[in-house]
Amino acid sequence: MSSITLALSKGRIFEETLPLLAAAGIVPTDNPESSRKLIIGTNRPDVRLVIVRATDTPTYVQYGAADLGIAGKDVLLEHGGAGLYQPLDLHIAKCRLCVAVQKGFDYVAATRPGGRIRVATKYMNAAKAHFAGKGMHVDLIKLYGSMELAPLVGLADAIVDLVSTGGTLRANNLEEVEDIMPISSRLIVNQASLKLKRELLQPVLDAFAGAIRP
Ligand code: PRT
Ligand code: MG
């Protein structure tokens, strides 16, 4: 029997995907927050979930270890999207990618022609494209998390990071100085799976499409 594997990260993406799954008649049998299982069954014997790190979701789908996945646009920009269809913007896990600096740092002066700033980020591709688009030279420093710390300890002048409520920036005496782009999560599909398992996958895609609340 043919079956479907959906790759998800736990946390906000899992939580916000539950209503979409429900619309497709799919109910997980465990909660990844409380269970340590990495493979989670559903009420449907032909549908299972695999719980992966958010940044790894496109990789699982690209290589066909999962047929489907849900990943933030931020993650997809860094992955590059090879081997993936991205048929739906699910409008979940919304936030924005922005540039932030320590309060009082004169970003406008620092970014005038001839200026050069140091920018810490986990989003190297997106940051590179953003500053190149402005014709600016920046030194990018790759971090894997807690970007907000970098300007506070002199590692960088600015950060490129995701912001949703703005609470983390405020708590660390940082302020947003540039909005780069809105971010939401996309459904991603393995290209071979879409051809070989279309009968199984299409109804799930259609149900997700019908359940999107922009
Ligand atoms: O947490 P982990 O290191 O395992 O991985 P991850 O951070 O990549 O995963 P997760 O589950 O935290 O995020 C998954 C996806 O959710 C991301 O790829 C984004 O597309 C999306 N998303 C939506 C966010 C946020 N909102 C968000 N606010 N991802 C991260 N944040 C972080 C942000 O980096 C910052 O540190 O939350 C902090 C800011 O939040 P506010 O509300 O204080 O502004
Ligand atoms: Mg996180």
| CA nearest to 97, candidates 41, 161, 54, 154 | 161
Residue 113: pLDDT over 90: no
Q: How far apart, in whole angstroms, are the C-alpha atoms of residue 44 and residue 42? A: 5
Model pLDDT, residue 114? 84
pLDDT digits (tens, 9 = 90+) for 97-108: 999 999 999 999
The ligand placed nearest to the CA atom of residue 98 is 1
Domain ranges of the chain: 4-94+184-211, 95-183
pLDDT band at 115 (very low <50, low <70, confident <90, very high): confident
User: Is there an atom of ligand 1 within 6 Å of 168 CB?
Assistant: yes
pLDDT digits (tens, 9 = 90+) for 152-172: 999 999 999 999 999 999 999
Provide the 8-state DSSP code for 143.
-
The ligand placed nearest to the CA atom of residue 149 is 1
Tell me the average pLDDT of the chain: 97
User: Is there an atom of ligand 1 within 6 Å of 95 CB?
Assistant: yes
Task: Judge whether 4-94+184-211 and 95-183 match in fold.
Answer: yes
Pick the CATH number of 95-183 from 3.40.50.970, 2.60.120.380, 3.40.190.10, 3.40.50.880: 3.40.190.10
Model pLDDT, residue 37? 97
Task: List the residue whose alpha carbon is closest to atom 30 of ligand 1.
Answer: 162
Q: How far apart, in whole angstroms, are the C-alpha atoms of residue 120 and residue 143? A: 6
| CA nearest to 158, candidates 124, 113, 110, 114 | 110
pLDDT band at 130 (very low <50, low <70, confident <90, very high): very high
User: Is there an atom of ligand 1 within 6 Å of 72 CB?
Assistant: yes
Contact status, residue 16 vs residue 8, Cβ threshold 8 Å? no
For the domain made up of 4-94+184-211, the CATH class stated in words is: alpha beta
